[in-house]
Amino acid sequence: MGVPMVQCDFLVIGSGVAGLMFALEVAEHGRVAVLCKDEPSEGSTRYAQGGIATVISPLDSFESHVQDTMDAGAGLCDEEVVRMVVSQGPERIERLVSLGAAFDKNKDAEDYELGQEGGHSARRILHARDATGAEIHRAVFERAERHPNITLYPHHVAIDLITQPVPGNESSTEVLGVYALDRRQSEVVTFVGSVTMLATGGAGKVYLYTSNPDVSTGDGIAMAFRAGAAIANMEFIQFHPTCLYHPAAKSFLITEAMRGEGARLLTADGQPFMEQYDSRGELAPRDVVARAIDD
């Protein structure tokens, strides 16, 4: 008996907001297969709490958001990419709203309620209560699940990309698909697609103490590396500075939005300390806050 095979026009590895948004965009042009390592909801997206930074207030500006981002990135960010992401932010929010995502509004329900987070000089954080990621994933997943051209494959763990030399250019490699382990059937399935999109997230779970979910083990990065892709910036692992820790239980994130609304970080004897490290105090960028806590 041969290895089962699934053929599609677009193969998406990963079912977070990035993978599902790509699936929805291309589903109008062909059949889409979405591989989910666990349940489709089990990824980093749904654990995001505080919100999304974007410029929608008349008191804010794209230039201010760009500068805040460059400062938080210690000047290492690609400014062209930063400007693209910042300028497209409002449009992406509108797209999420059109898919059914509901962000909190102020008391008169006319304008979005904007929060404050570290590294930002203005209130520009849209949120859905304290479960923004879960709300976004709910809306996007429900649309993807209903789309006739999208098929979800839960509990399919991608093992390795299927590659071959590009005809006429033997020094280059093209991706044909992926081998994946169907954990429920205990068999390897071959997925073949005209286009393969890696949307597998990061590798934060390689660390013992992290706010990342258990599925964030860097599979996609490793597969891309084995297939010959250039891997860059692996040293930039962000550690969220505030989690609820218990030695016998899994840590979970305490949203940065709490500090945006006035929460303070204190030493064991009740003394504030962040101003010793940064004039922005608790609203310094996350890497600054994390290092201060660890000092």
Least Cα distance to 49 among 129, 118, 117 occurs for: 129
Give the ranges where the chain is alpha helix by DSSP (H). 17-26, 62-72, 79-98, 132-146, 219-226, 257-260, 286-294
Domain assignments of the chain as residue spans, ordered by start:
1-38+144-231, 52-126, 243-294
d(CA 126, CA 106): 11
Give the residue carrying structure tokens 């990135």.
Answer: 73
Q: pLDDT tens, 149-203?
A: 999 999 999 999 999 988 888 778 899 999 999 999 999 999 999 999 999 999 9
User: What does the block give as tokens for 187?
Assistant: 């068999």
C-alpha distances out from residue 93 to 54, 86, 97, 174, 216, Å: 8, 11, 6, 33, 25
Least Cα distance to 117 among 50, 49, 65, 47 occurs for: 50
Q: Give me the CATH code for the 243-294 domain, please.
A: 3.90.700.10
d(CA 17, CA 7): 23
d(CA 279, CA 291): 15
Task: Assign 122 a pLDDT band (cuts: 50, 70, 90).
Answer: very high
Q: Is residue 103 a contact partner of residue 143, using CB atoms and an 8 Å limit?
A: no
Identify the bridge partners of residue 151 per DSSP, sorted by sequence position. 33
Give the residue carrying structure tokens 């059109």.
Answer: 98
Q: pLDDT tens, 206-259?
A: 988 888 888 999 999 999 999 999 999 999 888 888 988 888 887 788 888 889
Averaged pLDDT for residues 93-104: 96
User: What does the block give as tokens for 288?
Assistant: 């600054």
Query: Which CATH topology does 1-38+144-231 take?
Result: FAD/NAD(P)-binding domain (3.50.50)
Per the prediction, the chain carries an average pLDDT of: 92
Of 34 and 285, which is predicted with more confidence? 34
Active site residues: 286
